[in-house]
Homo-oligomer: A and B are copies of this chain.
C-alpha cells in the first residue's frame, strides 16, 4: 500500500502542475485544497525540494513551483523519494539494495528470480510520466 506521504506528495505535484507557471503556491493553499495536514505537508515539500522535484521561494508571496517539466516526473520518482524502494524485495532494488539474511545464495535464489521478473514488468508502469497517467477522461 502507498503511504500517506507518497499519496500527499503525488497530490501536491499534480496540484502544482495544474497552476500556471511563475506564481508560487504556498503550502497553506495546497494544504487547504488537498486536505493535507499543514505541518506534515511542509515536511513532504522539503523532501521534494531537496530532491529537486520542486523549487521554493521564501518569504512573503513565496511558495513552491515545479522544478522540472511535468513530463519528466513519474510516480516512481515520487515514491522513491518519500517512501524508498519500489522493488518488492531488497535484494533486487537497484537504488536501495540490501542482502536477504535468510537466503543461502542470492545467485540461485528462486524467490529472487521470480521477483526480478516482477520488478522488470512493474517498474515501467510506475515510471511513465505523470502527464501520460493523468489524462482528462
User: Interface on A for B, CB 8 Å cutoff?
Assistant: 1-2, 7, 10-11, 14, 34-36, 75, 84-85, 87-90, 101-104, 110-111, 113-115, 117-118, 121-122, 125-126, 130, 133-134, 137
Q: A34-B102, A111-B7, A113-B137 are in contact. Are A118 and B1 (CB under 8 A)?
A: no
Task: Verify A110–B14 contact, CB threshold 8 A.
Answer: yes
Give A14's nearest chain B residue, CB to CB: B110
User: Which applies to chain A's interface (DSSP): helix, strand, loop or mixed?
Assistant: helix
Least distance between A56 CB and chain B CB atoms (Å): 23
Chain B residues, Cβ within 8 Å of A102: 34-36
Task: Verify B121–A133 contact, CB threshold 8 A.
Answer: no
Residue in contact with A75 in the complex, picked from B35, B118, B130, CB distance below 8 Å: B118
Chain B residues, Cβ within 8 Å of A88: 1-2
Total identical chains: 2
Task: Verify B125–A121 contact, CB threshold 8 A.
Answer: yes
Other contacts beyond A1-B85, A2-B88: 15, CB < 8 A: A1-B84, A2-B89, A2-B115, A10-B111, A11-B111, A34-B102, A35-B102, A36-B102, A113-B134, A114-B130, A114-B134, A118-B125, A118-B126, A118-B133, A121-B125
Chain B residues, Cβ within 8 Å of A85: 1
- The 5 A-B pairs at the shortest CB distance, nearest first, are namely A35-B102, A2-B88, A114-B133, A121-B125, A2-B89
